[in-house]
Amino acid sequence: MSTTEQTLWGGETAKAIENFPVSGERVPEAVIHWLGRIKAAAARANAELGQLDGDVAARIAEAGDRVGAGEFDSQFPIDVFQTGSGTSSNMNANEVMANLAGDGAHPNDHVNMGQSSNDVFPSAVHLAALDEATHRLLPALERLESALQVKADEFHDIVKSGRTHLMDAVPVTLGQEFAGYAAQIRLGARRVRNALPQVAQIPLGGTATGTGLNTHPKFAELVRARLSETSGLDIRGPEDPFEAQGNRDALVELSGALKVVAVSLTKIANDLALMGSGPRAGIGELFLPELQKGSSIMPGKVNPVLPEVVLQVAAQVIGNDTAITIGGMQGQFELNVRIPLIARNLLGSIHLLTTASKLFAEKCIDGIQANEEGARRSAESTLAAATALNPHIGYDKAGQIVKTAAESGRNLREVALEHGVDEETYETAMDLRKMARGSAAHPDAQQS
């Protein structure tokens, strides 16, 4: 904040600034914006219910709208590691909006009317997470899934060696692998989506302990309706007010879904980096986009930088989930008191997964090309392809062929014929593309 900018906060904010010089990191802006929106809707609802003077309510609502639009982010300087209920940030919001509203607007009596830090701050966190997940994360995951599916279709007929335990396995296609990656992201998005109806249940209206003391009985319903209308989100009341006040289980659930997405991204990014390894001494089945120089000393070296970014993001999200889980365990009786911690890490995870998924799709997946020569070489080299001979000659004899080929360095065809497999049987069984289709390679399968 510049020296000429007016300070809108008051004494309670000043105390919090002095008391909590912990990290230098503020409460996520999305939470501040939702505090503004909630308090704007609350002022309008209180005026409609005859609880608040219409002129004062209108000025508070306008102030809340402006805070919700991000005009006054610099006026919320309190460290995110503060009182565990978020009371300091709620008082900060009350003071800023009262000052913006002008004469006759009191931070507690009017801006905070019908509310408590204990119900309004967690409501803001829930709605920030719901909003960011709905409008940013899910579209980013859909973009990534689409990019992977495009590559699955493009690589449909490119056969390569499968691998299990990092060892050669029966042939698969690159298309099958990429379709699996697309499904991982699709299922991850579904898990996130399935967690959101619980996140949409906000404790607003419970005030201090869930009883609704000092709140008009229609207040919370009116506020939720206004917020749903203006945001397009399906904001709901709690199934039980004491569950909603005392626990942040819905946020822990959402974080768990984000962790699964991070695990999926780890699998995908690792696979792509391995398949793109080389160009001569690695696996060499994919060409990843060359985005920048990979070494300050080795000329011409390029690295799988986007997969590496994704792997680091995934590790951070998994770490955030651990902190959120511990925070979720810290609800004593009628209130969870680790809400700022949960907000910081949950919204951080949503942001990281959103940006990383978009970058992964745009700067890596879209530009991946198949190394068809490398894929063909790996498909033809895997001794596990002899598995297709099992229905014809049995597991033991096929095993002898593989062992002989491995020890001698000779190819499967030569060794199989030497072990009495007739040429027609070998050619039928060892069709690599058909083998990658699974049951289509069985001798009893119908010919297409």
Alpha-carbon distance of 89 to 83, in angstroms, equals 9
Q: Is 448 labelled as part of a ligand binding site? A: no
Please give the structure tokens belonging to residue 160: 């390569």
Query: Burial code of 291-316, b = ≥16 C-beta within 10 A, e = fewer?
Result: eeeeeeeeeeebbbbbbebbbebbeb
Please give the structure tokens belonging to residue 289: 């986009």
Count of helices and strands (H, E) across the chain: 18, 6
- Partners of 201 in the β-ladder: 236
Q: What is the DSSP letter of 208?
A: T
Q: Is 301 labelled as part of a ligand binding site? A: yes
Q: Quick one: which of 302, 306, 325, 326 has its CA closest to 314?
A: 306
Q: What are phi and psi of 222, to 5 degrees?
A: -65, -40
The continuous run of DSSP H or E covering 68 comes out as helix 54-68
295 is catalytic: yes
Q: Is 392 labelled as part of a ligand binding site? A: no
Q: How far apart, in Å, are the Cα atoms of 5 and each of 1, 299, 427?
A: 6, 51, 81
Q: Is 211 labelled as part of a ligand binding site? A: no
Q: Is 303 labelled as part of a ligand binding site? A: yes
110 is catalytic: no
**Which amino acid type is present at position 403?**
K
Residue 189 Cα to chain centre, angstroms: 8
Q: Which residues contact 70 (CB under 8 A, 6 or more apart)?
A: 29, 33
Helices (H), 276-394: 305-328, 339-363, 372-381, 390-393
Q: Quick one: which of 394, 389, 373, 378 has its CA closest to 426?
A: 389
| Cβ neighbourhood burial of 253 (10 Å; 0-12, 13-18, 19+) | middle
Q: Which residues contact 297 (CB under 8 A, 6 or more apart)?
A: none
Written as one string, the DSSP assignment of 258-273 is HHHHHHHHHHHHHHHH
Q: Is 302 labelled as part of a ligand binding site? A: yes
Q: Is 164 labelled as part of a ligand binding site? A: yes
- Partners of 79 in the β-ladder: 26
> 23, 295, 408, 442: which one is catalytic?
295
> 165, 277, 351, 419: which one is catalytic?
165
Q: Is 106 labelled as part of a ligand binding site? A: yes
Q: Is 112 labelled as part of a ligand binding site? A: no
Biggest distance spanned by C-alpha atoms of the chain? 99
Q: Is 118 labelled as part of a ligand binding site? A: yes
- Partners of 164 in the β-ladder: 167
Residue 110 Cα to chain centre, angstroms: 38
Q: Which residues are marked as active site?
A: 165, 295
Annotated binding site for substrate: 85-87, 106-109, 116-118, 164, 296, 301-303
